[in-house]
Amino acid sequence: MQADAFSGVLWVKSVFWVTVAFVIFFVLFGRKLWAAITAMLDSRAETIRRELAEAAQLRREAEALLAEARTRREAALGEAKRLLDSAQAEAGRVAAAMAGEAEAAAQRRERMALDRIAAAEKAAVTEVRVAAAEVAAAAAQQVIAQGLTPEADAGLIDHAIAGLPAALRAA
């Protein structure tokens, strides 16, 4: 049992000396170690603060850009609406002008067709008159050749010559 007691004492002594060495180590190097750990933590905290400040600045810039983009979008939508309205109004004006031009072209074509019809009627009437005159002349020639004597023929010629100045003045 003595061996157990001796080992128990040794264990207590060793624990005591380890504790004493540990305390001495921290007393001698604890300040330096603590200063190094706190400096490292302070450095890390400062880095985090800078990153947070930078993130906040970036967020403000992004919000400003977003607001500017929204403003430009609204302006572009307004401009597009104005252009669309203008294009629709222009299309209406062009359609009205085209309708007017189509109406004028239709009237010109109608007038030209009526002129052609009138010319054709006049030509037809002239042809009928010429044909009637030829038929009348042929009939008159036949009638005259069958029933006119040379003395009556000379009298008709004298009468036609005497009436010629009056006929020329009437024409």
- Check pLDDT > 60 for residue 3: no
User: pLDDT at position 22, please?
Assistant: 86
**What type of residue sits at position 6?**
F
pLDDT tens figures, 94-151? 989 998 898 988 899 999 989 999 988 888 888 887 877 787 777 777 776 777 677 7
Return the higher-pLDDT residue of 73 and 5. Answer: 73
pLDDT tens figures, 21-51? 888 888 888 788 888 889 999 999 999 999 9
Could you tell me the two tokens for 154? Answer: 């000379």
User: pLDDT at position 171, please?
Assistant: 58
pTM: 0.40
> What is the rounded average pLDDT of the residues 68-75?
95
User: pLDDT at position 23, please?
Assistant: 87
Three-state DSSP state, 162 = helix
Cβ neighbours for 144, distance < 8 A, ≥ 6 positions apart: 153
User: pLDDT at position 6, please?
Assistant: 57
Q: What 3 state SS string does 58-119 have?
A: HHHHHHHHHHHHHHHHHHHHHHHHHHHHHHHHHHHHHHHHHHHHHHHHHHHHHHHHHHHHHH
Cα→Cα distances 35→2, 32, 39, 45, Å: 48, 5, 6, 15
In the chain, what's the furthest Cα-to-Cα distance? 202
Q: Using pLDDT thresholds of 50, 70 and 90, give the confidence band for residue 58.
A: very high
- Check pLDDT > 80 for residue 68: yes
Beta-carbon neighbour count of residue 137 at 10 Å?
10
Three-state DSSP state, 171 = coil
Cα→Cα distances 18→5, 15, 22, 23, Å: 20, 5, 6, 9
